[in-house]
A and B are shown apart, each in its own frame.
Chain A
Amino acid sequence: MLLGSAGLRADVVLLSENFDDISTLTGNGWTLSNQSTPAVGVNPGWFQGEPNTFAARSGAANSYISANYLNASVGGNVRNWLILPQLTVGPNTVLTFYTSTDTSLFPGDVLTVQVAAAGSGTYNTLLTIGDPNSAAYPTGWTKYSVNVGGAVPANVDIALVYSVQDTSINGNVIGIDDLSVVNVTSAVPEPGAWLTLSVMLTGVALRKRRQQKEGV
């Protein structure tokens, strides 16, 4: 999927995933790793979307990937990692995806986008969706984009990390759909792509990163 654009661009799609069948992800270089504490819960990890929870943004009703509060033991903390295949990213490489939960009744669903130098294991958080202490997660499919590139082309690990603090009362479920990583030939993504700045810390981080980029 290409980012919407009014101008002429020759965007290069590095990765596109609709999650029609998440059993194929591992074979395609993805890593699914549930590191919840103190123990993994009754639901061991990421799972194919449940149509009864909500339908996929596109494709079959279950064609999205999902995680829930049951990824950690009762009262534990969810840390469930979805790591993309290793990619070589440049200054204008943009990760875009859609995400949603099903109700605003429960606080605590959080999804972060983190990037590390390939194999380093040292991740930096680029984007945070939701809030550990409030019901801030979007309840309908909402688009997020983030520039995951550095100053110079480099191999990176990009991770989406679902987290919940204290599953006895917090956390519910999230879905992710229509994910892509694109080298955008124009300088920055379209403004419309920076859709949600409801989490102000995230907004600050994004702006800071953009300023850094402009300084190069």
Chain B
Amino acid sequence: MRNKTLALLTGAFLCGASLSQAAATVTIVNNDGPGVGFNDPTPALPVGGNDGTTLGQQRLNAFEFAARKWGATLTSVPTIRIRANWQALACNAGSAVLGAAGATSVWRNFAGAPRVNTWYGAALANALSGAALDPGTPEILARFNIDLGKPGCLTGTFFYLGLDNNAGSSVDLVAVLLHELGHGLGFQTFTNGSNGAQLLGFPSVYDHFLLDSSLNKTWVNMTNAERAASAIRTGGLAWSGPIVNDAAINVLTPAPGLNVTAPSSVAGRYFVGTASFGPALNTTGVTAQVMPVVDQADGRTGLACTTLSAVNRVAVAGKIALVDRGTCTFNVKAQNVQAAGAVGMLVVDNVAGTGVPPGLGGIDPLVTIPSVRILQSDGNALKAALVTRSRTSSPVVATLGIDLLLRQGMNRNGKMLMYAPNPFQGGSSVSHFDTSASRNQLMEPSINADLTHEVKPPQDLTYKLLQELGWQ
């Protein structure tokens, strides 16, 4: 949810109840009608520490649990009020929108605003100013999918209402609640990502940290067209803020990578897609010169689908072989370069891509060297550097392994990646972490089964991003 029109929604049963007493008080304003949603009287058995006896009460209990978590995490003098209800949301048999939430209003240039001419969501604006800027209106609006699990709506997969993070194959409602409240607390842009237009011509505080690595600009310094293009640049849209990125090093998993140490023109860290055959990459890695196989008339392509020629055998012996995707399976290429004495294999993709490249499929017990896929653009950069090679030595030196300085979910420059699928996905794009994050993060666009209920490091980065925006 991205705009103030949400505040126009009204409810028949508004019943404020204090749910959390901590550094911040988070309350629910129950916006459901009688017998619906939080008021559903269907009897329910206690589950996972949730002792409610009706479906509605269990939903409220789960909400209280999530509210208490955020209340214990954040600091706000004004109470944070959440108008919430259950209703039909988009879904089909295989997927569903679990919930949606956002600020009911946005504010700029209020007393205590850290940045001028910048939109802040109501809850954060209140916390920063020390008083409710609009005492009569809840700060956050949240809606949850009332049909989940019913036929035609992620059929058979229901919300798990327990509080013990033991959802199994169900959808953990507490995680969904924590996620949606995260949006309402500020994890969102109010800028239109599909056309790049800022709300009334002003950026969101979130936009100050959206960095496009291709343009090397943040969203506040872009044109509308640049923002719209950035919103669909998968792997190119990142978070610039140091609070998130410093913490992410200790939250996310080291990534497989190719660390090129020479020459300086291409030195750096490259993401790789790992192979399902051959040995797994390790932290020691394989260090060697990189040498291309060339078996096509263009002088720069090597498919390695047959036994290598004499010149190619001499070239790749003891080296990490660079080959191209196409014509034969990946494991056949690996077998051929391995037979020539290569100690590793890089497969250059034959289609453009960004971010972390896909893996290499296949099963082959005969392959004993590590093999990975690299992006076409990265492969082309390496090939350009390789033209000054001799028949037996290469200017490109690299280590292929688990790179302790790369993280799954960050770009090669150590910036957290943001979700930027192409085509644009309204309601999901930009306002989430990228799905490549591992360990999985609460604010990815999908709720993963391995999420905890934590919102801070060492498990999660949501609170760090909110801190970046101005939350204490």
| Complex Cα spacing A47 to B262, Å | 16
The answer to whether A52 touches B393 (Cβ under 8 A) is yes
The answer to whether A66 touches B299 (Cβ under 8 A) is no
The answer to whether A42 touches B387 (Cβ under 8 A) is yes
Interface string of B394-414 (1 = CB under 8 A from A): 110100000000000000000
| Complex Cα spacing A173 to B392, Å | 10
Which chain A residues border B300 with CB–CB below 8 Å? 42
- B107–chain A nearest beta-carbon distance, Å: 55
CB contact between A173 and one of B297, B311, B391 (< 8 Å): that residue: B391
Closest to A47 in B: B388
The answer to whether B311 touches A169 (Cβ under 8 A) is yes
| Complex Cα spacing A50 to B379, Å | 20
Does chain B have a CB within 8 A of A43? yes
| Complex Cα spacing A70 to B391, Å | 10
Which chain B residues border A51 with CB–CB below 8 Å? 395
| Complex Cα spacing A50 to B388, Å | 7
Closest to A174 in B: B390
Does chain B have a CB within 8 A of A69? yes
Centre residue among A42, A43, A51, A103 by max chain B CB count within 10 A: A42
- A52-B397 contact given A105-B391, A105-B392, CB 8 Å threshold: yes
Does chain A have a CB within 8 A of B389? yes
* A77-106, CB < 8 A from B: 101-103, 105-106
Does chain B have a CB within 8 A of A63? no
- A10–chain B nearest beta-carbon distance, Å: 40
Which chain A residues border B263 with CB–CB below 8 Å? 50
CB contact between B390 and one of A41, A74, A173 (< 8 Å): that residue: A173
- A50-B392 contact given A74-B299, A105-B314, CB 8 Å threshold: no
Closest to B292 in A: A42
| Complex Cα spacing A47 to B297, Å | 23
- A42-B394 contact given A47-B388, A66-B388, A68-B388, CB 8 Å threshold: no
The answer to whether A74 touches B294 (Cβ under 8 A) is yes
- Please classify the interface of chain B as helix (H, G, I), strand (E, B), loop, or mixed, using the class held by over half of its residues: loop
Which chain A residues border B311 with CB–CB below 8 Å? 106, 168-169
Does chain A have a CB within 8 A of B79? no
Does chain B have a CB within 8 A of A145? no
* A38-67, CB < 8 A from B: 41-43, 47-48, 50-53, 66
The answer to whether B299 touches A172 (Cβ under 8 A) is no
The answer to whether A53 touches B294 (Cβ under 8 A) is no
CB contact between B392 and one of A47, A48, A103 (< 8 Å): that residue: A103
* A167-212, CB < 8 A from B: 168-169, 172-173
| Complex Cα spacing A41 to B386, Å | 13
Does chain A have a CB within 8 A of B289? yes
The answer to whether A172 touches B294 (Cβ under 8 A) is no
Which chain A residues border B392 with CB–CB below 8 Å? 102-103, 105, 172
| Complex Cα spacing A169 to B313, Å | 13
Centre residue among B289, B388, B393 by max chain A CB count within 10 A: B388
| Complex Cα spacing A102 to B390, Å | 8
The answer to whether B391 touches A103 (Cβ under 8 A) is yes
- A70-B393 contact given A42-B299, A52-B262, CB 8 Å threshold: no
CB contact between A52 and one of B289, B297, B314, B391 (< 8 Å): that residue: B289
Which chain A residues border B314 with CB–CB below 8 Å? 105
- A52-B394 contact given A47-B388, A70-B387, CB 8 Å threshold: yes
Which chain B residues border A43 with CB–CB below 8 Å? 387-388
Does chain B have a CB within 8 A of A34? no
The answer to whether A69 touches B391 (Cβ under 8 A) is yes
The answer to whether A74 touches B387 (Cβ under 8 A) is no
Which chain B residues border A165 with CB–CB below 8 Å? none
CB contact between A70 and one of B262, B299, B395 (< 8 Å): that residue: B299
Does chain B have a CB within 8 A of A73? yes
Interface string of B287-308 (1 = CB under 8 A from A): 0010000100111100000000
- B266–chain A nearest beta-carbon distance, Å: 13
The answer to whether A50 touches B299 (Cβ under 8 A) is no
Closest to B314 in A: A105
Which chain A residues border B390 with CB–CB below 8 Å? 50, 53, 68, 101-103, 172-173
Which chain A residues border B391 with CB–CB below 8 Å? 69, 103, 105-106, 172-173
* B203-243, CB < 8 A from A: none
CB contact between B297 and one of A66, A68, A74, A102 (< 8 Å): that residue: A74
Which chain A residues border B297 with CB–CB below 8 Å? 74
The answer to whether B395 touches A52 (Cβ under 8 A) is yes
Which chain A residues border B262 with CB–CB below 8 Å? 52
Q: Ordered nearest first, which 3 A-B pairs have the shortest CB separation?
A: A43-B387, A173-B390, A74-B299
Given contacts A42-B299, A47-B388, A52-B393, 7 further A-B contacts (CB under 8 A): A48-B388, A50-B393, A50-B395, A51-B395, A74-B297, A105-B314, A168-B311
Query: What residues make up the interface of B, taking CB atoms closer than 8 Å to A?
Result: 262-263, 289, 294, 297-300, 311, 314, 383, 387-395, 397
28 residue pairs of the A-B complex, CB under 8 angstroms, read A41-B387, A42-B299, A42-B387, A47-B387, A47-B388, A50-B388, A51-B395, A52-B289, A52-B395, A52-B397, A53-B389, A53-B393, A68-B387, A68-B388, A68-B389, A69-B391, A70-B389, A74-B294, A74-B298, A101-B390, A102-B390, A103-B392, A105-B391, A106-B311, A106-B391, A168-B311, A172-B392, A173-B389
Query: What residues make up the interface of A, taking CB atoms closer than 8 Å to B?
Result: 41-43, 47-48, 50-53, 66, 68-70, 73-74, 101-103, 105-106, 168-169, 172-173
